[in-house]
């Protein structure tokens, strides 16, 4: 006996074929959409990465510039400290030299007293300064001709010449 013919078989077959075609088309569209989404995501990622590299380079350059400035400031501070130390040593040496010169020269005190009287007059009260030299006073006026004051004034008069201390030989 022959199998009964199903009248709906051609309809089912057509529906199945149409469903498969529609599913294939939907799958093709989904793949195309996924590829487009990936392409856009890669483009966005590339732009974000490029911007991050630029920002990182700018930050790095700014940080390096800041470090260079701090290093230059630190070097300048160290140089100024060294200059101050050298100048203080120079001042101490000059003071010691003037004290020694005043103690070794018996006439030096007499010349300082004469200079003080010339500046303040014969009534000036003259006293010996610690470390050598003299200090003279009249009411309202005072002259310091001590060894340290004489040494300090001599160094102060060097003015710009003292800058030569810092020049490279």
pLDDT at 19: 73
Tell me the three state secondary structure of residue 135: strand
- For residues 117 and 57, give the distance between their C-alpha atoms in angstroms, rounded to a whole number: 73
146, with CB counted inside 10 A (0-12, 13-18, 19+), is: buried
- For residues 154 and 148, give the distance between their C-alpha atoms in angstroms, rounded to a whole number: 10
User: How much is the pTM?
Assistant: 0.59
pLDDT in tens, 12-50: 777 778 778 887 888 788 788 878 888 988 888 889 888
pLDDT in tens, 74-99: 888 988 888 888 888 888 998 999 99
């Amino acid at each position: 006996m022959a199998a009964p013919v199903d009248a709906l078989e051609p309809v089912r077959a057509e529906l199945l074929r149409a469903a498969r075609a529609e599913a294939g088309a939907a799958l093709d569209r989904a793949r195309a959409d996924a590829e487009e989404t990936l392409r856009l995501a890669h483009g966005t990622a590339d732009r974000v990465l490029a911007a991050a590299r630029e920002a990182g380079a700018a930050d790095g350059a700014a940080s390096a510039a800041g470090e260079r400035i701090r290093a230059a400031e630190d070097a300048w501070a160290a140089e100024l400290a060294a200059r101050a130390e050298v100048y203080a040593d120079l001042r101490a040496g000059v003071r010691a030299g003037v004290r020694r010169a005043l103690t070794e020269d018996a006439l030096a005190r007499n010349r300082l007293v004469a200079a003080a009287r010339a500046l303040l007059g014969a009534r000036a009260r003259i006293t010996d300064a610690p470390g050598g030299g003299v200090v003279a006073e009249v009411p309202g006026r005072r002259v310091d001709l001590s060894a340290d004051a004489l040494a300090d004034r001599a160094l102060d008069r060097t003015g710009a010449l003292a800058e030569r201390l810092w020049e490279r030989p």
